[in-house]
Structure 1
Amino acid sequence: MDPITTVPFARTSRHKPRRWPLALRFIKGAIHGAIVLPVVLHAAFAVLIVALDHNVRNLGLPPSIIPSLSIVVGLMLVFRHQTSYNRFWDGQNHLTVIITSVRNLTRSFLANSHRFPLADRVETDRIIRILIAILYATKNHLRAGWGPAIIPDPAINPSTGDATSIPEYSDLLPRGLYGCDDRGLGLVLQLTFFVEQYIKKGTDNGWFHAPQASQMQVQLNNMVDAYGKMETIRLTSVPVAHLIHQKQVLALFGGVLPFALVDQMDYWAIPVVMLVMFTLYGIDAIASQLEDPFGYDRTDIKMDFIVEDIRSEISVLLEEWKKAGEPGYEMFVGRRQGAGAGGRGRIDHANHANGAS
């Protein structure tokens, strides 16, 4: 039975089936390009040792030397790989915390303001778009793609038009907003001030009662906390002493391996050395990619697709909330035409609910 394709997570879901088994993939998503040089060099060194062993003198070493070195190499690679994957996993979890906070704040703001006067509804619409912008700002900040210096305001300076340095923000940020990235203030933290001010205004105007506003504040604090932890992952690198020693130990192990194998395996020592070093350097290369999980590699977190999916989700909530302000319309209740890109036609939520009951 074929899986049912759904609209949520449309961008982050896999659409194309794998045409080749993963064991036969050497280009897309693989790390072979990063390790081909050291593997070839170790193979060439193994060829040299075998040739010298045959034509000059016996260069063999006792095979017992291999277990001693392999234990050290294995422990170092396990530590490196586990540490790197923890960074990847923690980065994904912290991104989920930010997304969850945006969802919760969006739900609370919209659920409490769909009957507001027009001026207050405009303010709510603006703050929801700022919440979406926080997702983009988080993604760009972690990739060192700093925010725009200014979002032009045509009413103030018509010559600027609608151009922005980062098109993702064009319909999300308030016009005339100056970014302060060049002065060391990240756009994410700057945007949280707008959210905090909205919560304060809602409390003063009686839109939210005090415990509810407190919960909103908790969500905002969780967002900033997760953002700071993602920054820590991005900025904290593996100590260079560990990296140097690990590379030297790998090179030493690959250099000793031909001497320990040449007596027993003769020319077969060459492919065996290639296979062993391919495995070890491959683990090291995967760990290097996982250390910074916020980039553009196939092994990194799919931040572009995740943010776009959440934007679509919140945009639908915002659209339904705007309709809910119309007379005779309740949010998520009533008839609507053309239920999405899947062409599902007319959906009568009320009739569906009555039939289900």
Structure 2
Amino acid sequence: MYGSVIPLMILPLALVGTWATAITVICTYLHNIAMNPVLLTVLGFVVGLSLSFRSSTAYDRYNEGRKLWAQLSASTSSLARLIWVHVDEREGHEKEDVLDKVAFCNMLVAFSVALKHQLRFEPFTCYDDVDPPGPPSPAHCARRSRGGATAPIGLEGLGLGDGLKHGGAESATTAQRPLGNMPLELLAHCSAYVKRVIDNNTFPRVPYQTSALNTIALLHDIQTGTNRIVSTPLPLAYSIAISQITWVYILLLPFQLFNTLGWATIPACMFAAYIILGIALIGQEIENPFDDGVNDLPLDTFCDQIRRDVHIVTSRPASDADSFLQREDHAVLWPAHGGGYHDIRTQSLESIRKLLARRVVP
């Protein structure tokens, strides 16, 4: 039953079974009010088109949401790696520069977490998985997160949500929709950091600067795209029409099946309703892929993965290429030659090229 829409179908199926039983009893003992089954074919075509449209539309939204989050994960780890490796650490200010780079990477992780909460319409100025845990100030915290599955990220003191705090505690604690725009604030802080490292010449190369700023712009595009999915559901007129067409078809089934099936009309109607309503409810279930249901995208897991990737990037200093390319235990020409880098280096260039040719497997 986990992840199934069957619990949502119990009451509708009971209603269909009761309706089919009543029509069968009337046709059997009182008066035969059955119809020609040709209507079943005509309406079935319309219902099939309606459910196909609803399901394909819902899955397109689900699939687009997954693509955007995959893009967010790739962009975040790429930007963290770019800053961690290519931003220089000034002599005499190494500790400050390292901590600043870590803070920048923390903001990238926090962006994904804040975007998750924004997409779930959780009123906020802070969350357990963004700010360090501790007793919240009423003027600072609107409401804690529902899940809290993601590990906390140290962002205290960045001034996020300060504009809301000046509005007073009551407006934050009674909010029924997201307040402010924490993901956008975090991107603004990231842009400010990139500007600073460009100005102090620790990030001097123009291609790297362009790549960093373009990635921040891409993160903003991802935020806009995910918000577009959430704020653009299937138009209400379509939802109402599809629901009405589906239920008219189901309620007419007993009239069209009785002459052929007799008392078997009851289980036949319930089975048909199970298929039709199941497809309709699945489309409704995945229409918003960013909620915290079992059939929605596992955003908590995605945020944890982004956090782990960034922590791996920052877990060691940016490596000098010579430190891993020219290791003695680096068997560069394996399997043609088992020696290490310095052993192979003593050979002539012609010998090295012959060894490279031997590595080709016919």
- Normalising to structure 1: TM-score of the pair? 0.78
Q: Does 1:191 align with 2:186?
A: yes
How many Å separate the matches in 2 of 1:130 and 1:263?
68
Structure-1 residue corresponding to 2:345: none
Q: State the Cα distance separating 1:145 from its structure 2 match.
A: 2.3
Q: Does 1:312 align with 2:305?
A: no
Q: Does 1:137 align with 2:114?
A: yes
Structure-2 residue corresponding to 1:36: 10
Q: Which amino acid aligns with 1:255?
A: L
Q: State the Cα distance separating 1:72 from its structure 2 match.
A: 0.7
- Decide which of 238, 242, 252 is 1:246's aligned counterpart: 242
Structure-2 residue corresponding to 1:9: none
Aligned-residue identity in percent: 22
Structure-2 residue corresponding to 1:118: 95
How many Å separate the matches in 2 of 1:259 and 1:302?
44
Q: How does 1:34-113 map to 2 (within 5 A)?
A: 34-113=8-87
Asked whether the 8 Å contact 2:9–2:274 carries over to 1, the reply is: yes
How many Å separate the matches in 2 of 1:72 and 1:131?
48
Report which stretch shifted further, 163-172 or 84-93: 163-172
Structure-2 residue corresponding to 1:171: 153
RMSD of aligned residue pairs (Cα, Å) = 2.9
Structure-1 residue corresponding to 2:352: none
Structure-2 residue corresponding to 1:219: 215
The superposition leaves residues 148-173 of structure 1 with CA deviations (integer Å, 9 ceiling, x where unpaired) of: 359989xxxx997xx97567584331
How many Å separate the matches in 1 of 2:308 and 2:328?
26
How many Å separate the matches in 2 of 1:171 and 1:263?
67
How many Å separate the matches in 2 of 1:288 and 1:221?
32
Q: State the Cα distance separating 1:94 from its structure 2 match.
A: 1.0
Q: State the Cα distance separating 1:132 from its structure 2 match.
A: 0.8
How many Å separate the matches in 1 of 2:117 and 2:106?
17
SS at match of 1:293: coil
Asked whether the 8 Å contact 1:294–1:300 carries over to 2, the reply is: yes
SS at match of 1:188: helix
Q: 1:170 to 1:311 in 2, by over 3 A?
A: closer
Q: 1:284 to 1:28 in 2, by over 3 A?
A: same
Q: State the Cα distance separating 1:248 from its structure 2 match.
A: 1.2
Structure-2 residue corresponding to 1:291: 287
Q: Which amino acid aligns with 1:206?
A: N
- Structure 2 unaligned regions, length at least 5: 165-171, 173-177, 335-362
The superposition leaves residues 98-136 of structure 1 with CA deviations (integer Å, 9 ceiling, x where unpaired) of: 222211110110011364422122111111111111111
Asked whether the 8 Å contact 2:65–2:226 carries over to 1, the reply is: yes
- Normalising to structure 2: TM-score of the pair? 0.77
Q: Does 1:207 align with 2:198?
A: no
Aligned length: 307
Q: 1:333 to 1:61 in 2, by over 3 A?
A: farther
How many Å separate the matches in 2 of 1:159 and 1:239?
40
